[in-house]
Amino acid sequence: MAVKIRVTIPKGHEKFLKARAIRLARQATMDQKLANRIKSTLLLPIKKKGILPDGSSVKEISDRWARRRAKLATINKTSRYYRGLLFSNLTLTGKWLDSFKARIEKSILSKKVTYVIEPTGDHPGYALPRGGRSPRVANTDIARGQIAQGRDYRQISEQNKRIITRLIVGRIRRELKLRLKV
């Protein structure tokens, strides 16, 4: 996703200002707050409406899991986005989607910035109706299971790509406006 910015440069300052503008634009994209904003742009629709980043609805859950989930909801603290028996938005307790972290990877050779949004840590398990807890599971294992069941959170729609591009371009423009006084 390449972002191009046009900057008018006064005569005699071309080399210095162009290099400085590029450096400032790169620094602006390396902001952790921006990475977190991109993460919430992608994950909030899943929590609120059950809409994956590719624009499709989360695949429906089976009747068996819906009944089990209803029992679990009575004895576990549920997410504020949990919406009952048949609606699946991947948030019974919300801990799996809350485990997602955004980090920034910078490639020195290609000068690319990559935002990596992935689940981290372990899911604590659920309190069970007959006592005890279900075992802890790595959140990456849960992610693999969701993908295998047709709930792929990694695909991004064109609309979400445009939203993310606007976030990045806006951040770069603000940074250039603040720091690049001509």
Instruction: Give the DSSP per-residue string, 19-76.
Output: HHHHHHHHHHHT-HHHHHHHHHHHHHHHHHH-B-TTSPBPPPPPHHHHHHHHHHHHHS
Residue-averaged pLDDT of the chain? 80
Angstrom distances, CA of residue 80 to CA of 65, 72, 83, 95 = 20, 15, 8, 11
pLDDT digits (tens, 9 = 90+) for 15-41: 776 777 778 888 888 889 998 999 999
Distance CA 180, CA 177 (A): 6
pLDDT digits (tens, 9 = 90+) for 50-69: 788 888 887 777 788 788 88
Distance CA 87, CA 66 (A): 9
pLDDT digits (tens, 9 = 90+) for 98-134: 899 998 887 766 677 888 888 999 988 888 888 888 8
Domain ranges across the chain:
14-179
Tokens of 55: 């624009």
Q: How far apart are the first and last CA of the chain?
A: 28
pLDDT of residue 138: 92
- Report pTM: 0.75
pLDDT of residue 80: 82
